[in-house]
Chains A and B, each alone.
Chain A
């Protein structure tokens, strides 16, 4: 068994020779926390992660600050099983979910625009003339355009209500299961689909509009 393991190691090292140093470096870092370097090493990345979810710079900044503080105060819970970076991400994810939850409990923000008239379909369920989808006039497919696309998406997200925004982030960015989302946001599954449907229609229309507006 030992010989086999040794053999594996040799073969493994042989193939990963170039990467060996990197791997060793990673191993050295795995078990330690270096709070002094958190800001320099991770703050931008963590900020980007929070920002695309809450769509607000100030809220994202607050979340990062909270994350660092609770990480510092709970250093003893760090067992070194995961990297420092992943550990910080885990804490931030929890903070973001707490943020969704807090929003869901604010009664004013719970008004869905369900009762208002349908801006996309008429009574017989056909597309309204002004809402008919048009082809996007640019290839947003390739990498070059994707940053531009994300900028547009960011603007479009601002048109969503608070509830829609939270739902959007949970579903499309965090990829949380629908049952979990319904529980956290306290909505029924049929409401869930009505909201997702509406979000998709709104986002699609907005992307089309902004791509044309160029």
Chain B
């Protein structure tokens, strides 16, 4: 499932490299895929940047907080529903 680079070439495209860097967060890449990604990142500054930003996004996502709150109106509504149900 991991291997999207079907061709056994050493140099991969940016499309394949970004795919590998996304997959890397979830699964263990095969040795050859890791080498391909490593070599690509050595020579491609854009994918290197993508890789770095992607990692950062993952980290921030894992502790996503929101300061969204329910309005008092909604809370009253919910409270009424609960009280009605309890009767």
Contacts and interface: CB of A to CB of B under 8 A. Distances in A.
Q: Are A and B interaction partners?
A: yes
Interface of A: 35-36, 38-40, 43-44, 47-48, 51-52, 57, 61, 64-65, 68-69, 72-73, 118, 120-121, 124-127, 132-136, 140-141, 146-147, 149-150, 153-154, 172-173, 175, 178, 189-190, 193, 196-197, 200-201, 203-204, 207-208
B10 to A, nearest CB: 15
Nearest to B12: A125
Contacts of A127: 14, 46
Interface in B38-83: 46, 49-50, 53-54, 56-58, 60-62, 64-70, 74-75, 78-79, 81-83
A112 B62 CA distance: 26
Given A126-B13, A189-B1, A173 B61 contact: yes
A196 B22 contact: yes
18 contacts: A39-B82, A48-B66, A48-B67, A48-B68, A48-B69, A52-B64, A121-B15, A125-B16, A126-B13, A126-B14, A133-B49, A153-B60, A153-B64, A172-B58, A173-B61, A197-B18, A200-B57, A204-B53
Interface residues of B, number: 39
Among B4, B54, B68, B69, find the residue whose CB has the most chain A CB atoms closer than 10 A: B68
Nearest to B78: A39
A147 B74 CA distance: 24
Most buried by A among B13, B15, B79: B15
Residue among B22, B69, B78 facing the most chain A CB atoms (10 A cut-off): B78
Contacts of B15: 118, 120-121, 125-126
B59 to A, nearest CB: 9
A46 B55 CA distance: 28
Contact of A132 (B46, B62, B67, B70): B46
Contacts of B81: 65, 68-69
A44 B70 contact: yes
B25 to A, nearest CB: 9
Given A38-B82, A68-B82, A72-B86, A47 B68 contact: yes
B22 to A, nearest CB: 5
Nearest to A146: B60
B23 interface: yes
A100 to B, nearest CB: 17
Given A47-B69, A189-B1, A197 B78 contact: no
Q: Which 5 A-B pairs have the closest CB atoms?
A: A125-B13, A125-B15, A121-B15, A172-B61, A48-B66
B64 A193 contact: no
B73 to A, nearest CB: 11
Contacts of A190: 1, 4
